[in-house]
Amino acid sequence: MSDFIFAAQQGRKIPKEDKNFAVNNRAKAMIAEKGKDAVVNATIGVLLDEEGKFVVLSSVNEVFKTLEAGEFAEYAPIGGIPGYKAAVLKDTFGSYEPKRHTVAVATPGGTGAIHSTIANYSEPGDKVLLTDWYWGPYGTIAGEIGRSLHTFKLVNEQGRFNTEDFEKQVMALLEVQDRLVIILNTPAHNPTGYSLTVDEWEEVASVLDRVPEEKKVTLLVDVAYLDFAGEAEEYRAFLPVLDSMGENILPVIAYSFSKSFTLYGMRCGAMICMAETEEIADEFRKVCEYSARAAWSNCTRAPQVMLSKIYENPDLLARIQEERAGFRDMLLRRGKAFEAAAKEAGLEIVPFDAGFFASVPCENPDAVGAELEKEGIFTIPLTMGVRISIASITEADCRRLPARILAAIEKVNK
Ligand code: PLP
């Protein structure tokens, strides 16, 4: 029996209300009732400054204002304008020159890249492998096209990447599937702030070296938070590891304009393959463009022209990098403050490196979230704990929150 009136059910269960929006609405209602100072809204997934204002890089805004009608009104080619595709590669790889065959295809945000990778590199009914702490929309994206998720444990008892469970789950899925899409969201993982070190990347590579050669693995690296994780080159140091993988492993990087250029609403991203052969790279271009035509046709032209212009002008690029570094450092200070305060309070958090979010493992996350709301602290309850957006709260609140979260956990789970 369908619970839809007119629409096709297609096996979907759509919740009555989006949980995250509901928490956010309650936060807004409390602000209206009790005032801004009575509320800490740690639910928002965008960067706010210390005054609570939405951060837009002014240097990027300046470029936007130089656009002429023809530059944004015209259709873009399906795979993206040539200048954009070249700039995306430079922006992603930095000073590193990949040895493999790279092809970039424009997508509407990182979300489009995730959708297209799953759609083109897995079969209906397949399971997609990812960490047990994960960004909810991965499940929605996979489910909409008849795939489901399978998880491995992100960290082991020592608080390091759980290579053992990763290997176990990769091999178990490859017993029953000929191909496998794996999603690794790093650095500055949403929702935990975890980043794989280069050593951990080497471990991932050595597991994938043991994949039987008749099986095909697509390794989707979601780098949505790359430019807010820390020093640009340091956080790109894992890229050579992707180059070293076997022919039956296809790394695909999901690139997003949303955070790096503070242009979330522009819906601009790209999927970049690092293919061992030219044939695999050509096929990547062909299938991704074909499926783009069927889903969103071409992507928004304005941000593509903007990135092309930014990469044609070294002074402008340097200005953007400098301005971004200022906000990145503000975010890193908040992360460090939260981590230090958690340690001091004796609050266990998922090992945190950097990024927009941190997570606290706990029993009964919904009840813990509700308890915190009573005190005006709004978080996102997940399956295994609560997520705190450090991107949207002040450094002072990052210092205050851990003790209060611990108290709420103790109260709920006593
Ligand atoms: N991946 C992760 C982990 C995210 O948190 C987000 C956005 O919140 C995205 C990808 C995609 O963002 P967009 O589609 O705006 O590029």
Q: Is the CB of 305 under 6 A from ligand 1?
A: no
Substitution site in 114, 183, 256, 389 for ligand 1 pocket (most atoms within 8 Å of beta carbon): 256
* Ligand 1 centroid to residue 311 C-alpha, Å: 23
Question: In whole angstroms, what is the distance from residue 379 CA to residue 371 CA?
Answer: 10
* Ligand 1 centroid to residue 269 C-alpha, Å: 10
DSSP labels, 212-262 = -TTSEEEEEEE-TTGGGSS-TTGGGTTHHHHHTS-TTEEEEEEEESTTTTT
Q: Is the CB of 256 under 6 A from ligand 1?
A: yes
pLDDT in tens, the chain (414 residues): 678 999 999 888 888 888 888 999 999 999 999 999 999 999 999 999 999 999 999 999 999 999 999 999 999 999 999 999 999 999 999 999 999 999 999 999 999 999 999 999 999 999 999 999 999 999 999 999 999 999 999 999 999 999 999 999 999 999 999 999 999 999 999 999 999 999 999 999 999 999 999 999 999 999 999 999 999 999 999 999 999 999 999 999 999 999 999 999 999 999 999 999 999 999 999 999 999 999 999 999 999 999 999 999 999 999 999 999 999 999 999 999 999 999 999 999 999 999 999 999 999 999 999 999 999 999 999 999 999 999 999 999 999 999 999 999 999 998
Substitution site in 18, 141, 222, 252 for ligand 1 pocket (most atoms within 8 Å of beta carbon): 222
Tell me which residue has tokens 């690139």.
255
Question: In whole angstroms, what is the distance from residue 90 CA to residue 363 CA?
Answer: 44
Considering only the top CATH level, what class is 72-314? Answer: alpha beta
Which residues, at least 6 apart from 387, have a Cβ–Cβ distance to it below 8 Å?
Answer: 191, 357, 358, 359, 379, 380, 381
Q: What are phi and psi of 153, to 5 degrees?
A: -75, 125
Question: In whole angstroms, what is the distance from residue 321 CA to residue 361 CA?
Answer: 34
The domain locations on the chain are 19-57+318-412, 72-314
Nearest CA to ligand 1 atom 5: 190
Same fold, 19-57+318-412 and 72-314: no
Q: Is the CB of 185 under 6 A from ligand 1?
A: yes
* Ligand 1 centroid to residue 159 C-alpha, Å: 25
Residue 260: CA atoms inside 13 Å, Cβ hemisphere, count?
24
Question: In whole angstroms, what is the distance from residue 81 CA to residue 105 CA?
Answer: 9
Q: At what angle do helices 365-374 and 19-34 cross, to 10 degrees?
A: 10
The residues facing 252 across adjacent strands are 220, 273
Name the nearest CA neighbour of 300 among 270, 264, 272, 268.
268
Q: What pLDDT, on the 0 to 100 scale, is given for residue 17?
A: 83
* Ligand 1 centroid to residue 138 C-alpha, Å: 10
Q: What pLDDT, on the 0 to 100 scale, is given for residue 414?
A: 83
Structure tokens given for 208: 């994938």
Q: What pLDDT, on the 0 to 100 scale, is given for residue 1?
A: 66
Whether pTM > 0.95 for this model: the answer is: yes
* Ligand 1 centroid to residue 42 C-alpha, Å: 17
CATH of domain 19-57+318-412: 3.90.1150.10
Write out the H or E segment, with its range, that includes residue 369.
helix 365-374
Write out the H or E segment, with its range, that includes residue 30.
helix 19-34
Q: What pLDDT, on the 0 to 100 scale, is given for residue 171?
A: 98
* Ligand 1 centroid to residue 220 C-alpha, Å: 13
DSSP collapsed to 3 states, 141-206: HHHHCCCEEEEECCECCCCCECHHHHHHHHHHHHHHCCEEEEEEECCCCCCCCCCCCHHHHHHHHH
DSSP labels, 303-354 = HHHHHHHHHH-HHHHHHHHHHHHHHHHHHHHHHHHHHHHHHHHT-------S
